[in-house]
Amino acid sequence: MKDLFLNERKTWALLLFLCLASRLFGTIYYIEDPDSLRFALGVLDYDVSKMQPHFPAYPVFCFIVKVFYSVAGRYALSFSLVGGLATFAIIYFTLEIVRIKVVESFGLSLAFILFFNPLLWLMANRYMPDLLGVALCLSACFFVSKRNNMTAQIGFLIAGLLLGVRLSYAPFILPSLLWSLWISKHKWRLLGAGIAGIVAWLIPLVYITGWDSLVVAGQVQTAGHFSEFGGTVTTEPDYVLRATNLLEGLWADGFGLYWLGRHWATMGAAIMLLGMIAMCWQDLVDRFNKTSLRNSLFWGCVLYLAWIFFFQNVIYKSRHVLPLLPILSLLPAYLIAQLNLRKRLFQLVALCFLSCYSYATLHLVIQHKKPSAIAQVYNYLNDMNDQNLHVASTPLIKYYLAAQGIKAVFIPIESRDDLSRLEKTEDSMQLVVIGSPLNNKIPQSKRTFYHNPYVNRMWSELSVYEY
């Protein structure tokens, strides 16, 4: 028993090192999109009124990254360090929740699946709070699942802190919190711990931002999210499209399995996974029959799935599926563990799956290190260094470029009419149009910048027209 304990400790220590080292390897040294820009600016100069970052302000996440930034001196490294620690926490608490030892075949398989999960790895290097949010979700669910009152209080405290990292993940932990409250004899202590977790970041946030500014930012962002730019069912009511893209987000983006246009390795992983399901079908049926549907984590997944389907941008942003991935990873991990008990041919199928799965992830991680299309546009304009430069673009692209110091007169384009008005400008003006060309003017040059849409779907292709 002592040797097993020591082996576990060594395995966890090695896993912590690998999580940090691998995510530092994947560090990106460019701003890949406007959301990442807001968080980078938030670390340097936290100001919610300037959308640095946008509401709900993410104060806990920004504070943690800022602590690492004060030591590392580079925000890119700081985000990766937080991502590496979050990755380790996700693996640790997933195994603890399902009571699997990391030194067992099932545990090692699950750790491998989570470590090489493509979306988890990419998000670990993004300047975004999502991965830390997943780690806090799982840790909160783990602690509140304990019958010990003090341990459950820790879970509620973490849940309160979670709202300062990723507010939209609240539906995922809600059933676990409600179940813990239902069975507890110390309900007010649990609620007090949750309130303490909220107060810990809310009071500093109000002090820094000001109550009035915070309320205005909240009203603007909330109204915009649900009625304009948030990609909810209100603005994107095509249920078939939402379901299809949600499936793609889970299957292809979430697990790196085959979808039209994807790398050949993803097809190999998909075929092997389907083969493993066929080989272990009876084991899966028996396992499912023994699983209690009263499990609060199961209902957390169901509630969260409904939440993102109706009220999150699942059409263009697959990162919303992140909290579901650790739980869904139990399936391939269980299959691998079962096949390891069988003949060598079955083990070979599992090995082929893991090889294709990890190769596809590493391929995406390496591509992620290359600047996104909008980052390439920024570098291109920055090199021009023209004093008479006029840039016509959408307001969001303008924000991205201007916030990073591009010196130009920016002309917002929100419709075809705006493009038509540009055709009447003087020829002496150095005009750059990003996105769509002018109808009645021939550009002097055209440059198109690309990046892999399966790394980041936003602006995977951008054209720059010079007039």
A 10 A CB-CB count for 314 gives 28
**Confidence at residue 462, expressed as pLDDT on a 0 to 100 scale:** 95
What Rg, from alpha-carbon coordinates, does the chain have?
Answer: 24
pLDDT for the residue numbered 288: 77
Return the pLDDT at 292.
Answer: 66
Neighbours of 402 (CB within 10 A): 14
* Cross-strand pairs, 393: 412
Chain segment 125-155, per-residue pLDDT in tens: 999 999 999 999 999 999 999 878 899 999 9
Give me the pLDDT at residue 387, please: 77
| Helix (DSSP H) and strand (DSSP E) numbers for the chain | 21, 5
Domain positions in the chain are 2-368, 373-466
What's the pLDDT score for residue 395? 92
Residue 334 is which amino acid? Y
Mapped onto helix, strand or coil, the DSSP state of residue 8 is helix
Strand runs labelled E in 33-155: none
Sorted by sequence, the CB contacts under 8 Å of residue 427 that are 6+ apart come out as 467
- pLDDT at residue 25, rounded to an integer: 97
Query: Which residues lie below 8 Å from residue 250, measured CB to CB, with a gap of 6+?
Result: 321, 324, 325, 328
CA distances from 403 to 36, 221, 357, 396 (A): 12, 19, 38, 11
pLDDT tens readout for residues 275-289 = 999 999 988 888 877
Predicted pLDDT at 33 = 94
Q: What pLDDT, on a 0 to 100 scale, did the predictor assign at position 227?
A: 85
Say whether the peptide bond before residue 53 is cis (omega within 30 degrees of 0).
yes
Per DSSP bridges, beta strands 389-393 and 430-434 are parallel
Low-confidence ranges of the chain (pLDDT < 70): 1-6, 292-294, 424-428
pLDDT tens column, 26-46: 999 999 999 999 999 999 999
Strands laid side by side in the 445-450 sheet: 409-412, 389-393, 430-434, 461-466, 445-450
Instruction: Locate 80 and state its tokens.
Output: 């990766």
What string of DSSP letters covers 139-151?
HHHHHHTSS-HHH
